Structure 1
Amino acid sequence: MEKKIDRLLRLLKIEFAVTWVVIICLIAGYENGILEEGTLIGNSRAVYIAQLTGVLLAICLIPMSLRIFNLSLTKYIRNLDIDSALKSYRRWSEVRIILLLVVAVFNISLYYWTMDTTGLLCGAMAVLASMFCVPGKKRLLSELDLLKEEEES
């Protein structure tokens, strides 16, 4: 079981690192001129719709990504056997980080498309929220109630 937990943690840490690499590469692409900046400047209707979409994504997906994991954990994952619980924990961790990645990528791109700080602020909120998703052994054990079982044995 210890091997499975370590393998799961290694995979989750890699996935977490990949999300940060994607965000950094996106920013580097815009800053170095690889990706085109200012594509929506001058089109006020498109800017408004894009900013509204970015804000709504941030308002809806950031809290949902943090809350949905907790709900699935308390209602579903803790009632499974250890193998199924670890698979489900991985799946929900991936869903959570993907939701945050969608918000961050869209809003950071929105900032560069419009050169307006609304997208930057919403993207920063998503990146900051991802810090609540950093995988760790102690966290995994406590969320799956395995910490109590290890202390008892």
Structure 2
Amino acid sequence: MTKLDEYITTDFEPRIVGFVCNWSAYSGVEMAGINKMEYPAGINLIRLMCLGRLNIGLILKAFELGADGVMLLGCPPDDCHYECGGAKAQEVLAQAKGVLNLLGIDQNRLALIEVPLGREDLLLRQVSTFVKRIGKPKPNSRRRKAKVASPV
């Protein structure tokens, strides 16, 4: 093992993709920023109008490109702005976990975090817990092999 390999493996910081609902979860992230609350580094948030718009292909693409974990940050099912986004997100989560299992990727690398509006403290606590859990296993084996996506 070279010094560089040793450095990279000992200072592993997970790369997390977060698909974020525009209504409660994104507002929580914004309020956390306004209140100068911090969340772990290495998180790339992608804002969606609703988690109900998310499809399994986007989740799998994040893993293919080397994400160590994927979070779905949304509203509780009974607080969805569009009424059915929470239920749709649950369906996509179940489908994605099934495919991850078939691909040999730990299902715990994917999580749905539902947080009510105004609870940015809870949002950040759950995000931090997820990142710590992801930081324990090895990085996604595709990370070093992942190619940079070309612009469309």
Give the TM-score taking structure 2 as reference length. 0.31
Give the TM-score taking structure 1 as reference length. 0.31
Please state which structure has a larger fraction of its residues in strand.
2
Q: Which has the larger radius of gyration?
A: 1
Please state which structure has a larger fraction of its residues in helix.
1
